Structure 1
Amino acid sequence: MAADKAPRRILVVGPSWVGDMVMAQSLFKTLKAGTPCEIDVLAPGWSLPILERMPEVRRGVVMPLGHGEFGLGKRRALGKELASEGYQQAIVLPGSLKSALVPFFAGIPRRTGFRGEMRYGLLNDIRPLDKAALPMTVQRFVALGRVAGAPLPEPFPRPKLAPDVANQERLRAELGLAAERPAVAFMPGAEYGPAKQWPLAHFAALAEDLAQQGFQVWVLGSAKDREFGDIIAAGMEEWVINLCGRTQLGDAVDLLAMAQAAVTNDSGLMHVAAALDRPLVAIYGSSTPDHTPPLAERVAIRYLRLECSPCFERSCPLGHTRCLHEITPASVMGALAQLGVVAQPLVTRTR
C-alpha cells in the first residue's frame, strides 16, 4: 500500500466499565466505516478479553493504573512510549482530566473528546456535550467518531462480539455443562449496588420453572456474586449451576454465546449478552433503559417507571426497592415467552 494510502492510526482511550467497553464497539464500527484506519484501545487489563472479541480492534494497550489512580509519572511514561506508534488521532471516551494525559504526552496531533473535566490544551478537538441531543451513552461514543456537528449514522452500528469456539468447547468440558439441555444464563449481580439487583427469590422462582421446562440455568458473575448464585441454586443444584467466580470475563462472553437466552440486571454482562444477540430479558430498577439500553433486536425490557424512578442511587433511598420487587417472576417468564424462548408463560411459585 502506498504511503499516502496507509490507514489512519487511531488510539481510543477506553472506558472503565464492562458495559461501556462493549458499547464502544459502535464507535469502532463507525470509524471503520469511514476512511481506512487501524484502531488501538488504551484500556484496563481486565477488558482485553472483550477487545479480543472485537474484529475492529487491532490491539489493546493496557493502562498500568487502577481505576481512579492518577499516576502522573506512569501516564507520562506510557505516553512517551506510545509516541513512536505514529497515531494521527486519539479519541478520549472518559470525561476525566487524567484520561486525556496519555494522548497529550504521546504528542498525538489530533486529540478528540468532550469538554469534560477542564481538559483545554490536553484536547485540541474539544466538543461540547449536549446531553439532551445525545441522551444515550452509545450515541456520545459514536458522535466522537464523526466530524464535529455531523449527524449520527442511521441506524448506528450495534456491538457484535465474536465468541471463541475453542474456548467454548473447553468450558463445556471443564465445567461439566450438559450439551443436551438448553441453558438460560442469569446475571444476578450489579457492580453499582443493590438498587439495580432483582431479588434473588425472584431469580430462584424463575429458575425453578425453567428447570421444569427442561432448561439448565447458568448463574454468571464474579467471585463477589458467588453467594447470590448459591442462594438461587439452593435445592436445584442438578440444573442450576453456579459459575460465579469460576470463570474469567472472556469465559463469560463465550458461555453467554452458548446460552439459549439471558435474564439480567442492568449490568456489564447485560451488554455482553446483547452484543452476542442472545434473547435477553433486561431488568431495570434505579437506572433507566433510556440511557443505557441493551443494543440488540431480541430484547424485552422490564422497567416499571415508578414515580421515584430512575433515582440512580446505589441503594433505595426510600427503603422499599419497589421498582425491582414488583417486577414478578411471572412477568419475566412472560417476556421469555414473548422472545420465543419458552412455549408459554407459567405461574411461578414463591419459594
Structure 2
Amino acid sequence: MNILVIGPAWVGDMVMSHSLYQLLQQRYPDARIDVMAPDWCRPLLERMPEVSQAIRMPLGHGEFNLKKRWKLGRELKGHYDRAYILPNSLKSSLIPFFARVPYRCGWKGESRYGLLNDLRSNKRDFTLMVARYAALAFDKSAMRSDQDLPEIPPPYLQVNPEDVTLVLEKMQLTTQRPVLAICPGAEFGPAKRWPETQYAEVAQHWIAQRGGQVWIFGSKKDLPVAEQIKAHLGENQRTHCQLLAGQTSLGEAIDLMSVASAVISNDSGLMHIGAALGRPIVAIYGSTSPNYTPPLSQTVEILHTDIDCRPCFKRTCPLGHLKCLTELPASGAIAALSKLVPLQELD
C-alpha cells in the first residue's frame, strides 16, 4: 500500500503529525508513507523513520494556483492508494482529488464535500491536536471521541551521532559544560513570547549555579531578542552563551538541541522539537493553552499564569499589558529546571 499525506505547514504541527505516521505504520506494516510538505519540513521528515519520502510542496503558504495543483495531482495519479489531508483548507485537498487517490481522508475543515470521501466532522470531540491527527488512522465509525483512541505514540526524531559531531565542529561548540537550550521566539506573535529579562535570569542561574552554558536557538527574526538576553548577562557569563538564532539550518538546530541537558521554550515549534528529542522541557505559555498543543514528553514542566484573560489565543495582547507573560517570574522556571534536571545529573 502506498500512502500520501498532505502535511501541515507549521513546525510544531509537523512534529505532532509523526504520531499519525507511526499509527499508520502499525496498522499497515508494509505501507510506504510519503509526505508532501514545504521544503523546509524536510529535515523533520528525514528524522522520522516511518516516512519513506518527503515530497516538496512547491506552492507557498496561502497560494491557491488551481492550475499548478491540478498538474501536481495528475503527476501523482496512480501512485497512491490512500491519502490523509492534515490541513483544514479546501486547497490542501485538491491535489489528492486531482490525483484520483481512491481513499481521501481528513477533517471537514472548509466544507470539503466531494473532495474527501472519508470526511470527519466531529473534530471537537478530540481535545488535543495530536489526537485529531491520530484519529484519522482508524475507521470513522470507531472514532467518536478521545476515549475511542488507543495509546498515541509520542513523536520522536532520530538523530545521527555523526551529524551531531559535524555540526558541533562546524559551530565550534563543545558539550563540556551542560547545555541549556533557550528558544525565546514564537512565529505566532508577541503574546507567546516570555520577556528577555526573564530568560536572562534563567540563563544567569544555569551558568553561575549549574556550571552550564546556554545556546539560544531560533530564526533570524529571533536574533535581536537573543542578543538582548545575552546583553543582560555579566561579562564572564557571556563567554558561556552562544547565539545560534539565524546561524543554523533547521536540521543543524535539531542535531544541536539533541545534546542539550534541558530546553526552555515558549509555545513554539522548537518546543515540540525538544520534546520529540526526549529533552527535559520547561514550556512557557502566554496567550495559548497546553490543553490543545502541549509538548508531548514525559519530562516536562508547563508554566503559565492564571489571570482571568488567558488563554485568549491572540497574537498580540488585546488589553495591551501582556500580564500572562510579564507576571510569570523567572524563579518558577529555575525551580522547574531544578526539578527536571537535579544537580547531581549534571556531574
TM-score of the two chains, using structure 1 as the length reference: 0.93
Looking at structure 1, the residues matched to 193 and 295 of structure 2 have their Cα atoms a distance apart, in angstroms, of 16
* RMSD over aligned Cα atoms: 1.3
State the match for 1:12 in structure 2.
5
Task: Kindly indicate whether the alpha-carbon contact (under 8 Å) linking 1:10 and 1:89 is maintained by their aligned counterparts in 2.
Answer: yes
Quote the offset at 1:304 in angstroms.
1.8
State the match for 1:334 in structure 2.
335
The correspondence for 1:146, drawn from 138, 143, 148, is: 138
The correspondence for 1:52, drawn from 28, 32, 46, is: 46
Looking at structure 1, the residues matched to 69 and 306 of structure 2 have their Cα atoms a distance apart, in angstroms, of 42
State the match for 2:66 in structure 1.
72
Deviations 1:113-136 (A, max 9, x none): 1111121111111111331x2111
Quote the offset at 1:305 in angstroms.
2.9
Task: Kindly indicate whether the alpha-carbon contact (under 8 Å) linking 1:261 and 1:341 is maintained by their aligned counterparts in 2.
Answer: no
Deviations 1:291-317 (A, max 9, x none): 000001000000123210110111111
- The residue identity in structure 1 corresponding to 2:307 is L
Task: Kindly indicate whether the alpha-carbon contact (under 8 Å) linking 1:336 and 1:342 is maintained by their aligned counterparts in 2.
Answer: no
| Bigger shift: residues 46-55 or 205-214 | 205-214
Task: Kindly indicate whether the alpha-carbon contact (under 8 Å) linking 1:279 and 1:341 is maintained by their aligned counterparts in 2.
Answer: no
- The residue identity in structure 2 corresponding to 1:76 is W
- The residue identity in structure 1 corresponding to 2:274 is A
- The residue identity in structure 2 corresponding to 1:139 is A
Q: Give the length in aligned residue pairs.
A: 335
Structure 1 residues 134 and 191, CA, compared in 2 at 3 Å: closer, same or farther?
A: same
- The residue identity in structure 1 corresponding to 2:158 is A
State the match for 1:280 in structure 2.
281
Deviations 1:258-286 (A, max 9, x none): 10100000000100000011000000000
State the match for 1:134 in structure 2.
126
Looking at structure 2, the residues matched to 111 and 26 of structure 1 have their Cα atoms a distance apart, in angstroms, of 19
Looking at structure 2, the residues matched to 38 and 174 of structure 1 have their Cα atoms a distance apart, in angstroms, of 35
State the match for 1:241 in structure 2.
242
Quote the offset at 1:342 in angstroms.
4.0
SS at match of 1:57: coil
Looking at structure 2, the residues matched to 190 and 171 of structure 1 have their Cα atoms a distance apart, in angstroms, of 24
Deviations 1:138-179 (A, max 9, x none): 010001111103244432110011013222111111111122
Task: Kindly indicate whether the alpha-carbon contact (under 8 Å) linking 2:175 and 2:259 is maintained by their aligned counterparts in 1.
Answer: no
SS at match of 1:300: strand
**Which stretches in structure 2 are left out of the alignment for 5+ residues?**
none
State the match for 2:297 in structure 1.
296
Looking at structure 1, the residues matched to 342 and 216 of structure 2 have their Cα atoms a distance apart, in angstroms, of 17
The correspondence for 2:172, drawn from 167, 176, 190, is: 176
**Which stretches in structure 1 are left out of the alignment for 5+ residues?**
1-7, 345-351
Could you tell me the percent identity over the aligned residues?
A: 47
State the match for 1:191 in structure 2.
187
Task: Kindly indicate whether the alpha-carbon contact (under 8 Å) linking 1:89 and 1:110 is maintained by their aligned counterparts in 2.
Answer: yes
